[in-house]
Amino acid sequence: MSLSKQFLAGAAVLAVLFLLFYPQFWEVDYQSTIRTATWLWQGKFVEPDAQYAYYMWDTGHGYFAYPFEIGRTIISAPFVLVSWNAPFILGLLFHLLGAYYFYRILAFLGLDTRYSLLYLFFPPLTLLAGKFLLGDIASAALVSAASYYYLKGDSKGFLAAGIVLGISV
């Protein structure tokens, strides 16, 4: 089952537009995620200086990095090695993954795969994809993947669907 030219062209257009308008800003919770991901590589978990401890929890022995969605922090950690703003690409990657699995579902069911372009260019998803790794984008992609594995109907597909849905929660 090969990908259609329309889907590949749509994914390429979306990726180019995303990179042209690549986010150059972050919000407070994104900053916390990026800081915590950086600290994972440094083996640092506590900031002793209150001057740098904004948006952290006081432990009495220092300030603990705000563990806002630790899964997002762990996923972001490899991208932080490239640059502070490299984790923003995760939203696009998860969005493309979700669109790919939606394409696979349509092909598996024998439906017109051009409908996957509706998922690919659905405005709320494309706007959220540029907002870093929100749980919405990752969950939508993982639910699409789990649905595909479930529809396959074999025991390996059921197991894969269960694992992927467990991760998405």
Taking alpha carbons only, the member of 5, 7, 6 closest to residue 102 is 7
How far apart CA 110 and CA 9 sit, in angstroms, is 21
Please check whether residues 103 and 122 belong to one and the same domain: yes
Name the strand (E) or helix (H) holding 46: strand 46-47
List C-alpha distances in Å: 130 to 14, 37, 150, 161.
11, 19, 29, 27
Q: What percent of the chain has pLDDT over 70?
A: 80
- Token pair, residue 12, equals 């390429």
CB 117 within 8 A of CB 6: yes
| Owning domain of residue 41 | 28-84
pLDDT digits (tens, 9 = 90+) for 112-132: 998 998 888 886 766 666 666
Please check whether residues 132 and 156 belong to one and the same domain: yes
Does the pLDDT of residue 27 top 70, yes or no? Answer: no
pTM here is 0.77
Residue 19's pLDDT band, with cuts at 50, 70 and 90, is confident
How many distinct structural domains can be found in the chain? 2
Q: In what order do the strands lie in the sheet with 46-47?
A: 46-47, 63-64, 57-58
pLDDT of residue 162: 92
User: Where a domain ends, among 59, 84, 109?
Assistant: 84
Please check whether residues 10 and 59 belong to one and the same domain: no
Please check whether residues 14 and 91 belong to one and the same domain: yes
